[in-house]
């Protein structure tokens, strides 16, 4: 399949990035006070202890220097480790990619799409998924989201789907959003009846500890990144069911990807480990925030967060090329996954959704205002980030910053294109432009979490007094 578009860098227009306008620089002592205010919510609760950090670095260095086994032996060992650790059924195929988005790219290539073929897609996706689809020249038809957060509007989708379009559909790509697992039974059976492959992206919703994916999905993908299980340094796992040939085709595509140079493999592992340290440890977040506060002089913590992301994290700089995902996992990546899986514990995951339930309890009746999708078919939700929706998002970011809390908007979401004959995905765009989230809330002590909830309640009372969720017009 031609990938000439892959070499082109696609940039997200600045006006679509939702950047918070920088405020005038404050005096040094004032910035110091703001930083200290943030810092008190930094390191006083140590879910990720110093020993945990050391363990992650041991995983990194062991994977770099211990490579006595061949790649084939490591691949087989990894597959066995995944099956044993997560109790996967023997009839499920396992595919492993360098990243989860690499697995999505391999899946699309395995479909061998024609120019008239259609991909059904839920509109909010990681923007790299959207860029992969565009690079391959694939056509998409989007399913709008319901405003109550209970899932997608399949009724309207089927109402507008013509028989001709139905015959052209090759795949349904579903991404679980908000850190919650969405129900899509309404379309799963239709997909099987019409030979439409279901690709389920569970990176934002589940981990393999909690679910192996929807039983009707043909391929369910999970992240191997430390910040999602947390367990390892990079990598993506795919569980393929119902169609063994699909699993073999996807694995064949991955095996035909080129190998990276040793230098590139090393730099990838180091960057992934650094990303985990920055985003999944409060000590790492605090140290980077201090750097941003004093080096760049931002007055709002949210400004600092997004300045760091835009300048240092690949996933958020607004650029993506397909050649970033067309590599097969190296021996180093395979070994790091094995080592990481061996030390992964279900308690790491259970802590996430217990914390979310506790935060909703602190919010009380306000939970349904700023987290309108909470508590709907999501008993096992477990994403690091607590997604929320506030009126005048940027104002809320500054409001929370003044009270010492780190809050962000989601830079990594893209919107899938819609066929002209189907309604525009207006609510999905509303979410893309207004969604925010509370990072690392799961690591807070109960007192910290209550203080953050109280700040959110104060904002809602002051600026959203109608006690209604912030919906699009």
Query: At a CB cut-off of 8 Å and minimum separation 6, what does 300 contact?
Result: 20, 23, 397, 398, 401
Q: Which residues pair with 121 in a beta bridge?
A: 142, 173
Count of other CB atoms within 10 angstroms of residue 274? 15
What pLDDT, on a 0 to 100 scale, did the predictor assign at position 28?
57
For helices 282-295 and 301-312, the axis angle rounded to 10 degrees is 100
Q: CA 45 to CA 417: how far, in whole Å?
A: 43
Q: Which of 237, 243, 246 is nearest to 203 (CA)?
A: 237
What is 358-373 written as a DSSP string?
HHHHHHGGGHHHH-TT
- How many residues are listed for the chain in this entry? 473
For helices 331-343 and 50-65, the axis angle rounded to 10 degrees is 150
Q: CA 22 to CA 398: how far, in whole Å?
A: 11
What is 396-435 written as a DSSP string?
HHHHHHHTT---EE-TTEEE----TTS---HHHHHHHHHE
pLDDT(9) > 90: no
Which tokens go with 274? 């650094």
What pLDDT, on a 0 to 100 scale, did the predictor assign at position 100?
85
Cα 103–13–127 angle (5° rounding)?
15
Arithmetic mean of pLDDT, 214-220? 94
Pick from 18-27, 46-55, 425-434 the range whose average pLDDT is largest: 425-434
- Cβ proximity of 204 and 190 under 8 Å: no
* 209 or 295, which is more confident: 209
pLDDT(89) > 80: yes
pLDDT(94) > 70: yes
The share of the chain scoring above pLDDT 70, in percent, equals 72
Arithmetic mean of pLDDT, 36-47? 43
Q: CA 97 to CA 197: how far, in whole Å?
A: 19
pLDDT(108) > 90: yes
Q: Which residues pair with 139 in a beta bridge?
A: 118
Q: Which residues of 171-185 are buried (b: 16+ CB within 10 A; e: fewer)?
A: bbbbbbbbbbbbebe
Which tokens go with 10? 């696609």
- Which region among 185-194, 224-233, 384-393 has the lowest average model confidence (pLDDT)? 224-233
Token pair 């061996």 is at which residue?
342
Cα radius of gyration (the chain)? 22
Residue pLDDT, tens place only, 145-166: 888 777 889 999 999 999 999 9
Residue pLDDT, tens place only, 352-402: 777 878 888 999 999 889 888 765 555 555 566 678 899 999 899 989 888
What fold, for 18-344?
3.40.640
Q: CA 320 to CA 131: how far, in whole Å?
A: 7
Query: At a CB cut-off of 8 Å and minimum separation 6, what does 115 contact?
Result: 137
Pick from 178-192, 241-255, 354-368 the range whose average pLDDT is largest: 241-255
316 confidence band (pLDDT: 50, 70, 90): low
Query: At a CB cut-off of 8 Å and minimum separation 6, what does 373 contact?
Result: 148, 149, 150, 178, 180
What pLDDT, on a 0 to 100 scale, did the predictor assign at position 13?
41
Arithmetic mean of pLDDT, 72-100? 88
Q: CA 128 to CA 223: how far, in whole Å?
A: 14
What pLDDT, on a 0 to 100 scale, did the predictor assign at position 206?
67
- Maximum distance among all alpha carbons in the chain? 67
Q: CA 83 to CA 90: how far, in whole Å?
A: 8
pLDDT(56) > 70: no
Token pair 């670095």 is at which residue?
57
pLDDT(300) > 70: yes
Tell me the average pLDDT of the chain.
78
What pLDDT, on a 0 to 100 scale, did the predictor assign at position 7?
34
Arithmetic mean of pLDDT, 404-425? 86
* 58 or 314, which is more confident: 58
- Which region among 65-74, 178-187, 288-297, 449-458 has the lowest average model confidence (pLDDT)? 288-297
What pLDDT, on a 0 to 100 scale, did the predictor assign at position 39?
43
* Strand blocks (E) in 98-241: 118-121, 124-126, 139-142, 169-175, 197-201, 219-223, 236-240
Arithmetic mean of pLDDT, 12-23? 41
Q: Which of 402, 405, 383, 392 is nearest to 463 (CA)?
A: 392
pLDDT(321) > 50: yes
What pLDDT, on a 0 to 100 scale, did the predictor assign at position 8?
37
In Å, how far from its chain's centre is CA 24?
33
């Amino acid at each position: 399949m031609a990938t000439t578009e892959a070499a082109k860098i696609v940039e997200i227009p600045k006006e679509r990035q939702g950047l918070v306008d920088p405020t005038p620089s404050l005096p040094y002592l004032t910035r110091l006070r703001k930083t200290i205010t943030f810092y008190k919510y930094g390191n006083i609760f140590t879910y990720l202890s110093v020993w945990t950090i050391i363990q992650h670095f041991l995983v990194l260095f062991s994977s770099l220097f211990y490579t006595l086994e061949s790649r084939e032996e490591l691949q087989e060992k990894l597959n066995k480790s995944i099956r044993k650790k997560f109790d996967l059924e023997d009839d499920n195929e396992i595919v492993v990619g360098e990243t989860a988005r690499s697995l999505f790219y391999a899946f699309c290539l395995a479909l061998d799409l024609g120019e008239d073929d259609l991909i059904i897609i839920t509109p909010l996706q990681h923007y790299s998924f959207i860029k992969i689809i565009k690079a391959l020249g694939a056509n998409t038809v989007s399913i709008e989201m319901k405003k109550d957060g209970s899932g997608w509007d399949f009724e309207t989708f089927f109402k507008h789907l013509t028989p001709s379009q139905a015959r052209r559909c090759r795949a349904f790509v579903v991404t679980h959003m908000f850190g919650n697992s969405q129900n899509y039974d309404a379309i799963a059976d239709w997909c099987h009846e019409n030979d439409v492959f279901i690709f389920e992206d569970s990176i934002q919703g589940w981990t393999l500890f909690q679910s192996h994916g929807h039983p009707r999905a043909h391929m369910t993908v999970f992240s191997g990144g430390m910040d999602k299980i947390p367990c390892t340094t990079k990598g993506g796992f795919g569980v393929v069911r119902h169609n063994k040939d699909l699993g073999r085709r996807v694995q064949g595509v991955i095996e035909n990807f080129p190998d990276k140079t040793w230098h590139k493999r090393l730099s990838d592992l180091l960057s992934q480990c650094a990303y985990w340290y920055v985003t999944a440890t409060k000590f790492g977040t605090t140290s980077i925030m201090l750097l941003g506060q004093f080096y760049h002089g931002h007055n709002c913590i949210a400004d600092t967060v997004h300045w760091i992301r835009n300048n240092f994290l690949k996933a958020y700089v607004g650029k993506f090329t397909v050649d970033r995902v067309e590599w097969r996992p190296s021996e180093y990546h395979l070994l790091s996954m094995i080592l990481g899986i061996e030390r992964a514990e279900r308690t790491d995951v259970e802590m996430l959704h217990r914390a979310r339930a506790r935060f909703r309890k602190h919010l009380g009746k306000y939970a349904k205002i700023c987290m309108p999708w909470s508590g709907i078919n999501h008993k096992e939700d477990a994403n690091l980030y607590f997604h929320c929706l506030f009126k005048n998002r940027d104002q809320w970011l500054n409001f929370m910053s003044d009270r010492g809390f780190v809050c962000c908007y989601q830079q990594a979401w893209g919107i899938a294109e819609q066929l002209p004959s189907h309604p525009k995905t207006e609510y999905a765009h509303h979410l893309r432009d207004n969604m925010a989230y509370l990072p690392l809330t799961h690591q807070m002590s109960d007192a910290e979490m209550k203080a953050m909830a109280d700040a959110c309640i104060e904002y809602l009372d002051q600026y959203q007094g109608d006690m209604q969720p912030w919906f699009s017009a």
